[in-house]
Structure 1
Amino acid sequence: MESVATDFREVMAGVCTPVSVVTAMDGARPHGTTVSAFASLSMTPPMVLVSLDRRSDLLAVLQRSRRFGVNILSHGQADTAVQFARKGPDKFDGVSWHGSAGLPRLHGTAGWLACDLVELVDGGDHVVAYGGISEAVRSLIAPLTYHARTFGTHAAAEVTLR
């Protein structure tokens, strides 16, 4: 089983994923964490899913508040991704943000989604949060991605039609 887990980790390192910071409010205090397991779930109704570690402080906040924001990081926000990936209460130190739909919205992102929690689903050592979209804002800034344990961004492939 250990071999499969190691092989799985290596396969997943080869999958390009978007990098987002999921945020929520605990009273007047903002919380956030970096996630790479984020995806569109449904167009009707508009929904996304995010995967949160069971030990995440943010998960406990989300369970109480029942709302969360998804800040889709832009290609220049790798430092922000690292800052929100660490543990501790000071993740918002030095980060430019404002409230949007009652949730912490980071400045300079490639996109923003305000979500109402629809359901929490067990997923091994993580919990998958389904969120119904109440606000969506797109930017034309290129997104930050994670591939082969490094940050990067998307580049369009040249396609030759025959």
Structure 2
Amino acid sequence: MTSLQETFKNVMAHVATPVAVATSMDGGLPVGTTVSAFLSLSMNPPMVLVSLDRGSETLELVTESRKFGLNILSSDQHSAALKFATKNGLGKFHGVRWDIDHDLPRITGAAGWVACTVERILEGGDHMIVLGTVVAAEQRDSDPLTYHRRTFGTHCALEMV
């Protein structure tokens, strides 16, 4: 018999989600983690919501610094998504091109960039929900990386007839 958690995980695998890397700084060193649970929360003021694992090093630094970046990955950045999904700590940025933007690590070539200040942090099961007020945003004309049925891909528009 399948547990509720396993069934829920399988149901959610069928929901296509965008893939981003949430980033912060540890002194002068960049840290980040792959996230698929993030979304636009408000337009006035511009706000986002991101869910971070309670044990995440990134969450600890976001909580301390009260700011974070969201690098919405491009369809050709699936290797970065896998790299930042590991528990490798500070070594995740090794070999990844990045710059500093609003005192936050910004991954080069990402489809979108959002810099935020933390408005509030809420409990959400084994994760913490970070509400961020957007202080800067920029997008590139690039297809987004998505995760669906446990594989990476991108969005493909349907032809309307």
Tell me the TM-score normalised to structure 2 length: 0.97
Distance 2:116 2:128 in 1: 16
1:23 is matched with 23
Tell whether 2:144 aligns with 1:120: no
1:130 and 2:136 correspond: no
- How far residue 3 of structure 1 moved from its aligned partner, in angstroms, is 2.3
Give the gaps of 5 or more residues in structure 1.
none
Letter in 2 for 1:105: R
Residue type at the aligned position of 1:10 = N
Tell me the equivalent position of 1:141.
142
Q: Which runs of 4+ in 1 moved over 3 A?
A: none
**Structure 2 unpaired stretches of 5+:** none
State the identity as a percent: 53
Residue 16 of structure 1 contacts residue 145 of structure 1 at CA under 8 Å; is this kept in 2?
yes
Tell me if the contact between 1:83 and 1:91 (Cα under 8 Å) persists in the aligned partners.
yes
Partner of 1:11: 11
Could you tell me how far 1:76 is from its partner in structure 2? 0.1
Work out the number of aligned pairs and report it.
Answer: 159
Counterparts of 2:109 and 2:139 in 1: how far apart (Å)? 11
